[in-house]
Amino acid sequence: MDTRHNNSENIILTGFMGTGKTTVGKILAARLEREFVDTDSLIEQRQGRTIPQIFSELGEPAFRRLEAELAQELGQRQGLVISTGGRFMLDPDNVKALSRSGRVFCLVATPQEILARISRDTAHCRPLLEVADPGKQIVDLLEERKRGYQRFVKIKTSGKSPDQISDELLALMARTNLNFPVHGDKERIMARKKLKEHLINREWCKGCGICVRFCPKKVLELDTMEKAVAVRPEDCICCRLCELRCPDLAIEIVVEDENDE
Ligand SMILES: Nc1ncnc2c1ncn2[C@@H]1O[C@H](COP(=O)(O)OP(=O)(O)OP(=O)(O)O)[C@@H](O)[C@H]1O
Ligand SMILES: O=C(O)C1=C[C@@H](O)[C@@H](O)[C@H](O)C1
Ligand SMILES: [Mg+2]
């Protein structure tokens, strides 16, 4: 077995069904030349049953126990890209086991985009979305799970291709010192980004001030309406911590490649 990258932190993808964990995880693993583990697929393979069969024949609690056992097992390993099932990282014991082994990123998408992707993905059945109104179920489940997903660094995926999302993740890991070798395209991924604008959705901003506290350059402040504003955009280093930490998805850092000019 090639052990070149086995002494490195695991990269763990979480997020709601259809946010692209499996798709993006495969790309990341290939680009990092790492072993890829998809928890849903591994459970299916070991059980000799599909997920819908596990749900109908053994029940959802049995599936969650299989996930919990796998979390303990994978938490002992290193150098993996792990795409988890949609609820896997909402179990505190699973979070503890896997967070110790590496870095967790949460893929997010709008409910509309999730519904569109799931509807196109006819090869896979997600038992929790086999209901009369899957659109409403997605909105309800997202609301129920919101706090659980919020604890992780998030990556927006709506309107982006899986390759773009992988690029973003690799750039983010590079900026935040995750020690990994990138094969072939390091220069492209590491290209310095230049700020175009802070896109702040004032309706969604609830004035929590998290972005203000996380910004290392003190670019953001809350205005008199308790909404985030970029008061010193010229100091922005495009680290995107404000965007990644905003619990309401209200900030987007829009960048241009330096080479564009
Ligand atoms: N960025 C994207 N843009 C468009 N379609 C995408 C994107 N990412 C994934 N998809 C498509 O959406 C569907 C669901 O993707 P995927 O299975 O990777 O999601 P998942 O997060 O692993 O879901 P689950 O939690 O159910 O395992 C697939 O058909 C996939 O091709
Ligand atoms: O979000 C969920 O509860 C699930 C997501 C899928 O990845 C599978 O783990 C299963 O369909 C349940
Ligand atoms: Mg998946």
Q: What letters, b where the CB count within 10 A reaches 16 and e where it falls short, cover 65-96?
A: ebbeebbeebbeeebbbbbbbbbbbbbeebbe
Mean pLDDT for 64-89 is 97
The predicted pLDDT at position 22 comes to 98
Convert the pLDDT of each residue in 145-203 to its tens digit.
Answer: 998 998 898 999 999 999 999 999 988 887 665 545 554 444 444 555 788 899 999 99
> Is pLDDT at 95 greater than 70 in this prediction?
yes
* Nearest Cα residue to atom 2 of ligand 2: 86
Q: Strand runs (DSSP E) across the chain, as ranges?
A: 10-15, 35-38, 80-83, 102-108, 153-156, 193-200, 220-222, 228-230, 251-257
Cα dihedral 21, 25, 27, 29 in deg (nearest 10): 180
223 assigned to a ligand binding site: no
| pLDDT over 70, % of the chain | 89
127 Cβ below 6 A of ligand 1:
no
20 Cβ below 6 A of ligand 1:
yes
> Is pLDDT at 248 greater than 90 in this prediction?
no
> Is pLDDT at 105 greater than 60 in this prediction?
yes
* Nearest Cα residue to atom 3 of ligand 2: 87
Q: Cα of 248 to ligand 3 centre, how many Å?
A: 24
Convert the pLDDT of each residue in 173-182 to its tens digit.
Answer: 876 655 455 5
The predicted pLDDT at position 3 comes to 33
The predicted pLDDT at position 178 comes to 53
* Nearest Cα residue to atom 10 of ligand 1: 20
> Is pLDDT at 84 greater than 90 in this prediction?
yes
191-260: CATH, from 1.10.2020.10, 3.30.70.20, 3.30.420.480, 3.30.1490.20:
3.30.70.20
Convert the pLDDT of each residue in 110-150 to its tens digit.
Answer: 999 999 999 999 999 999 999 999 999 999 999 999 989 98
Q: Cα of 155 to ligand 3 centre, how many Å?
A: 16
The predicted pLDDT at position 176 comes to 66
Convert the pLDDT of each residue in 213-243 to its tens digit.
Answer: 988 889 999 999 999 999 999 999 888 889 8
**Sequence spans of domains, the chain:** 3-176, 191-260
The predicted pLDDT at position 177 comes to 56
Residue with tokens 């990556």: 155
Kind of pairing, strands 80-83 and 10-15? parallel
Ligand nearest to the CA of 148: 2
Cα 85 to Cα 77: distance, rounded to the nearest angstrom:
18
Alpha helices in 197-250 (DSSP H): 210-214, 241-245
Angstrom CA distances, 52 to 58, 116, 124, 224, stand at 10, 20, 9, 52
48 assigned to a ligand binding site: no
Mean pLDDT for 11-37 is 97
> Is pLDDT at 18 greater than 60 in this prediction?
yes
Cα 13 to Cα 39: distance, rounded to the nearest angstrom:
11
Q: What is the mean pLDDT of the chain?
A: 89
Of the two residues 184 and 247, the one the predictor is more confident about is 247
Identify the CA nearest to 205 among candidates 239, 247, 233, 241.
247
DSSP string, 41-79: HHHHHHHTS-HHHIIIII-HHHHHHHHHHHHHHHTT--S
Identify the CA nearest to 41 among candidates 29, 31, 32, 33.
29
Q: Provide the CA 62 distance to its chain's centre, in angstroms.
A: 26
* Nearest Cα residue to atom 14 of ligand 1: 18
The predicted pLDDT at position 47 comes to 98
| pLDDT over 90, % of the chain | 73
Assigned superfamily of 3-176: P-loop containing nucleotide triphosphate hydrolases (3.40.50.300)
The predicted pLDDT at position 76 comes to 96
Q: Cα of 58 to ligand 1 centre, how many Å?
A: 26
Mean pLDDT for 25-40 is 96
Q: Cα of 231 to ligand 1 centre, how many Å?
A: 37
